[in-house]
Chain A
Amino acid sequence: MATWTIYAQLQNDTELALNPTDHIWLNGLTYGTNVITGRYQDSTHVADSSDVQRDTTSSVNNTKYASQSTVKINGAAAVSVSTLTSGTVPFKFRFAHTSAVDTAEVKFYAYDGATDATPMQGVNFYAYEAYGAETGWTAANGVGSALALREYTDNTTHDWFVAISASPTSPGAKAGAVKLTLTYA
């Protein structure tokens, strides 16, 4: 049987398993504050379906896009994005199965919420997987630009450690969604 869990990785090196109805917030300096147009988020948080903050003991790791090849981790100075590790990114996506399976075609991307190929409008969205030797962010907006995540062979547990960063290019609310798809056998 397959199970799927998202973990928020906190700055105190613990993790928080998300409930299906929890929300991820990309904010200004503190929970609930807006991100200024043209800038990237300064903090990342988890809230329940009533918008009550869950990461109160320690905030979720924040990975702020600084340039195509650099990132600011938890407010520190910009460093090469390739220095991100499995412990410093904000999210761990876990796919588990009682049988050992192979995973392939693992894609992570934002889209307009209706058509996978259509990017979310009014937002720059970047993603990075802390694995391998990638030296830059992926502008993962629309399935055609999806971030391809690593593939596993003959495993019961498949973990992906992912950093995200987003910036509004215009004021106001944005419509869209982030999707992950994977194939297994």
Chain B
Amino acid sequence: MKPGYLVEDRLLTVFFVYDKILQMVRWVAKLSNGDVAEQDIPPWVEIEGERLPWARLCNYLAYNNLYIDELVVKYADNEWVFFKPNALFYSVENVLEVDNLLGEKQYRNMLHVAAHYPNDVEHVYIDVNEEVLVLKETTNEFRPIIASPSREEHIF
């Protein structure tokens, strides 16, 4: 086998994997230092034995005294901006639903993204398999599992 073919195969594999990632529903965080952190793009990929990318990003932000300036959701070439600007902080969670538990089970996986403001919290729930917005709502309060560092702590 010619070495060139091997290289070509690997390149094709890389492009195929990257193309698959770009088709997935994923969060994209625009950071206060101008950087962009994107789910499933290194280093914000799932690593066996380590916390999920969102948890690691929040730790990174806290350690480096940064916050998220804007959080959007991407699917393929679409960028969904769901939230009004200047949220204090954001949260990202995964929701698993197992319906008809006693019969032929149906599963739904959703991405729950929330923007937290001084007086309310805006939520969106996106079905990551169907790639559709399931619910958009505003609540008075919400305590997430892991929240990003607050913008408020950086205003002097």
| CB contact under 8 A between A177 and B98, given known A98-B48, A185-B52 | no
Q: B96 touching A95 by the CB < 8 A rule?
A: yes
Set of chain B residues within 8 Å of A154, measured between Cβ atoms: 51
Least distance between B61 CB and chain A CB atoms (Å): 15
In the complex, B42 has a CB within 8 A of chain A: no
Q: A183 touching B93 by the CB < 8 A rule?
A: yes
Set of chain B residues within 8 Å of A178, measured between Cβ atoms: 100-102
Q: A100 touching B101 by the CB < 8 A rule?
A: no
| CB contact under 8 A between A185 and B46, given known A20-B105, A21-B104, A180-B101 | no
A-B contact sample (17 more), CB < 8 A, given A21-B105, A177-B102, A183-B93 = A2-B96, A4-B107, A21-B104, A24-B103, A95-B96, A98-B49, A99-B52, A100-B49, A101-B51, A101-B52, A102-B145, A181-B95, A181-B97, A182-B95, A183-B145, A185-B144, A185-B146
For the complex, what is the distance from the CA of A98 to the CA of B45, rounded to whole Å? 12
Q: A2 touching B94 by the CB < 8 A rule?
A: yes
Interface size band for A: 20 to 34
Set of chain B residues within 8 Å of A6, measured between Cβ atoms: 101, 105
In the complex, A77 has a CB within 8 A of chain B: no
| Residues in chain B within 8 A of chain A (CB atoms) | 46-52, 54-55, 91-105, 107, 109, 112, 144-146
Within 8 A of B (CB), among A1-18: 1-2, 4, 6
| Residues in chain A within 8 A of chain B (CB atoms) | 1-2, 4, 6, 20-21, 23-24, 49, 95, 98-102, 104, 113, 154, 177-185
- Of A21, A113, A183, the most chain B CB neighbours within 10 A belong to A183
Q: B93 touching A185 by the CB < 8 A rule?
A: yes
For the complex, what is the distance from the CA of A95 to the CA of B97, rounded to whole Å? 11
Q: Which residue of B lies closest to A20 (CB)?
A: B105
- What are some 19 contacts across the A-B interface (CB < 8 A)? A2-B109, A4-B107, A6-B101, A21-B104, A24-B102, A24-B103, A49-B104, A98-B49, A99-B51, A102-B146, A177-B99, A178-B101, A179-B99, A181-B96, A183-B94, A184-B93, A185-B54, A185-B91, A185-B145
Q: Which residue of B lies closest to A178 (CB)?
A: B101
Set of chain A residues within 8 Å of B97, measured between Cβ atoms: 179-181
Q: Which residue of A lies closest to B94 (CB)?
A: A184
Q: Contact partner of B145 among A2, A20, A113, A184, CB < 8 A?
A: A184
Least distance between A59 CB and chain B CB atoms (Å): 16
Q: A184 touching B96 by the CB < 8 A rule?
A: yes
For the complex, what is the distance from the CA of A155 to the CA of B52, rounded to whole Å? 12
Set of chain B residues within 8 Å of A180, measured between Cβ atoms: 97-98, 101
Set of chain B residues within 8 Å of A100, measured between Cβ atoms: 49-51
Q: A23 touching B102 by the CB < 8 A rule?
A: yes
Set of chain A residues within 8 Å of B49, measured between Cβ atoms: 98-100
| CB contact under 8 A between A23 and B101, given known A99-B52, A183-B112, A185-B94 | no
Q: B46 touching A98 by the CB < 8 A rule?
A: yes
Q: A4 touching B98 by the CB < 8 A rule?
A: yes
Set of chain B residues within 8 Å of A99, measured between Cβ atoms: 46-52
Set of chain B residues within 8 Å of A4, measured between Cβ atoms: 96, 98, 107
